Amino acid sequence: MSTLTPEERAKKLSEGLDYVKDLPGFERGHPHYFKDPMIDHLLEIVLQLGAEMWIIRDRQMVTEHLLTTEGKVTPEMIEAFKPSPEFREKMKAERGTYTRRLYQSLYDGIGPGGEAAFVSGVLKVR
Protein backbone atom coordinates (compact mmCIF):
# COMPACT_ATOMS: atom_id res chain seq x y z
CA MET A 1 0.00 0.00 0.00
CA SER A 2 1.09 3.54 -0.73
CA THR A 3 2.30 5.25 2.45
CA LEU A 4 1.53 8.71 1.08
CA THR A 5 -1.61 10.69 1.85
CA PRO A 6 -4.08 10.83 -1.08
CA GLU A 7 -2.99 14.41 -1.82
CA GLU A 8 0.71 13.54 -1.74
CA ARG A 9 0.11 10.58 -4.00
CA ALA A 10 -1.85 12.71 -6.50
CA LYS A 11 1.02 15.18 -6.54
CA LYS A 12 3.49 12.40 -7.23
CA LEU A 13 1.29 11.01 -10.01
CA SER A 14 1.15 14.47 -11.57
CA GLU A 15 4.90 15.07 -11.67
CA GLY A 16 6.06 16.51 -14.98
CA LEU A 17 2.50 16.79 -16.29
CA ASP A 18 1.76 20.48 -15.91
CA TYR A 19 1.05 20.71 -19.63
CA VAL A 20 -2.13 18.71 -19.14
CA LYS A 21 -3.84 21.80 -17.75
CA ASP A 22 -3.63 23.55 -21.08
CA LEU A 23 -3.83 21.09 -23.95
CA PRO A 24 -3.57 22.96 -27.24
CA GLY A 25 -6.69 22.80 -29.37
CA PHE A 26 -8.53 20.46 -27.03
CA GLU A 27 -12.18 21.39 -27.23
CA ARG A 28 -13.86 21.13 -23.82
CA GLY A 29 -16.94 23.27 -24.36
CA HIS A 30 -19.61 23.08 -27.02
CA PRO A 31 -17.78 23.86 -30.24
CA HIS A 32 -19.48 25.01 -33.39
CA TYR A 33 -18.24 24.21 -36.86
CA PHE A 34 -19.95 26.69 -39.13
CA LYS A 35 -19.16 30.36 -39.33
CA ASP A 36 -22.77 31.04 -38.48
CA PRO A 37 -23.42 29.04 -35.29
CA MET A 38 -27.12 29.04 -36.11
CA ILE A 39 -26.38 26.39 -38.76
CA ASP A 40 -24.90 24.25 -35.98
CA HIS A 41 -28.01 24.74 -33.87
CA LEU A 42 -30.30 23.87 -36.74
CA LEU A 43 -28.40 20.71 -37.58
CA GLU A 44 -28.54 19.71 -33.93
CA ILE A 45 -32.27 20.26 -33.84
CA VAL A 46 -32.76 18.32 -37.05
CA LEU A 47 -30.84 15.36 -35.61
CA GLN A 48 -32.79 15.47 -32.36
CA LEU A 49 -36.05 15.57 -34.27
CA GLY A 50 -34.94 12.60 -36.32
CA ALA A 51 -34.19 10.67 -33.14
CA GLU A 52 -37.48 11.57 -31.47
CA MET A 53 -39.41 10.64 -34.60
CA TRP A 54 -37.63 7.32 -34.74
CA ILE A 55 -38.77 6.65 -31.18
CA ILE A 56 -42.37 6.97 -32.34
CA ARG A 57 -41.81 4.74 -35.35
CA ASP A 58 -40.09 2.17 -33.19
CA ARG A 59 -43.03 2.16 -30.80
CA GLN A 60 -45.47 1.84 -33.65
CA MET A 61 -43.62 -1.13 -35.12
CA VAL A 62 -43.50 -2.85 -31.74
CA THR A 63 -47.17 -2.11 -31.16
CA GLU A 64 -48.18 -3.58 -34.52
CA HIS A 65 -46.00 -6.60 -33.91
CA LEU A 66 -47.51 -7.25 -30.49
CA LEU A 67 -51.06 -6.77 -31.79
CA THR A 68 -50.38 -9.25 -34.57
CA THR A 69 -48.73 -11.88 -32.41
CA GLU A 70 -50.47 -11.39 -29.04
CA GLY A 71 -53.79 -9.84 -30.03
CA LYS A 72 -53.36 -7.03 -27.52
CA VAL A 73 -50.84 -4.46 -26.37
CA THR A 74 -50.13 -2.57 -23.14
CA PRO A 75 -47.38 -0.10 -22.24
CA GLU A 76 -45.86 -2.79 -20.01
CA MET A 77 -45.75 -5.23 -22.92
CA ILE A 78 -43.94 -2.65 -25.03
CA GLU A 79 -41.35 -2.05 -22.32
CA ALA A 80 -40.80 -5.76 -21.77
CA PHE A 81 -40.65 -6.58 -25.49
CA LYS A 82 -37.46 -8.39 -26.52
CA PRO A 83 -37.17 -8.47 -30.30
CA SER A 84 -36.17 -11.69 -32.03
CA PRO A 85 -33.03 -11.50 -34.18
CA GLU A 86 -35.25 -11.31 -37.29
CA PHE A 87 -37.32 -8.47 -35.88
CA ARG A 88 -34.14 -6.68 -34.83
CA GLU A 89 -32.79 -6.94 -38.38
CA LYS A 90 -36.07 -5.67 -39.79
CA MET A 91 -35.92 -2.63 -37.49
CA LYS A 92 -32.32 -2.02 -38.41
CA ALA A 93 -33.07 -2.07 -42.13
CA GLU A 94 -36.04 0.24 -41.60
CA ARG A 95 -33.87 2.59 -39.56
CA GLY A 96 -31.21 2.61 -42.28
CA THR A 97 -33.74 3.58 -44.95
CA TYR A 98 -35.26 6.19 -42.68
CA THR A 99 -31.91 7.77 -41.80
CA ARG A 100 -30.75 7.80 -45.41
CA ARG A 101 -33.98 9.39 -46.60
CA LEU A 102 -33.82 12.10 -43.98
CA TYR A 103 -30.15 12.99 -44.23
CA GLN A 104 -28.83 11.95 -47.62
CA SER A 105 -28.72 15.54 -48.83
CA LEU A 106 -26.10 16.39 -46.22
CA TYR A 107 -23.38 14.72 -48.27
CA ASP A 108 -24.93 15.16 -51.69
CA GLY A 109 -21.74 16.63 -53.08
CA ILE A 110 -19.50 13.72 -52.10
CA GLY A 111 -21.61 10.65 -52.60
CA PRO A 112 -22.88 7.87 -50.39
CA GLY A 113 -19.59 6.89 -48.77
CA GLY A 114 -18.18 3.48 -48.01
CA GLU A 115 -19.43 0.57 -46.00
CA ALA A 116 -21.33 1.93 -43.05
CA ALA A 117 -19.69 0.47 -39.99
CA PHE A 118 -17.10 1.35 -37.41
CA VAL A 119 -14.90 -1.61 -38.17
CA SER A 120 -14.77 -1.07 -41.92
CA GLY A 121 -14.77 2.71 -41.74
CA VAL A 122 -12.18 3.31 -39.09
CA LEU A 123 -10.24 0.20 -38.25
CA LYS A 124 -10.10 -1.43 -41.67
CA VAL A 125 -9.78 -5.00 -40.47
CA ARG A 126 -8.40 -7.17 -43.20
Whole-angstrom distance, CA of residue 72 vs CA of residue 78: 11
Q: Per CB under 8 A, does 120 bind other proteins?
A: yes
Q: 71 or 85, CB closer to other proteins?
A: 85
Q: Which of 67, 74, 89, 121 binds other proteins (CB under 8 A)?
A: 121
Contacts with 112 (C-beta within 8 Å, 6 or more apart), sequence order: 104
Radius of gyration of the chain (CA): 24
The CA distances from residue 19 to 15, 16, 32, 51, 78, in Å, are: 10, 8, 25, 39, 51
Q: Per CB under 8 A, does 86 bind other proteins?
A: no
First vs last C-alpha separation in the chain? 45
Residues 101, 107, 111, 116, CA torsion sign: negative
Return the residues of window 34-53 that contact other proteins according to CB under 8 A.
Answer: 34-35, 39-40, 43-44, 47-48, 50-52
Return the residues of window 96-115 that contact other proteins according to CB under 8 A.
Answer: 96, 99-100, 103, 106-107, 109-115
> Least distance from C-beta 98 to other proteins, angstroms?
9
Write the interaction track for other proteins spanning residues 16-35; mark x where CB under 8 A is met and - where it is not: xx-xxx-xxxxxx-xxxxxx
Q: 72 or 118, CB closer to other proteins?
A: 118
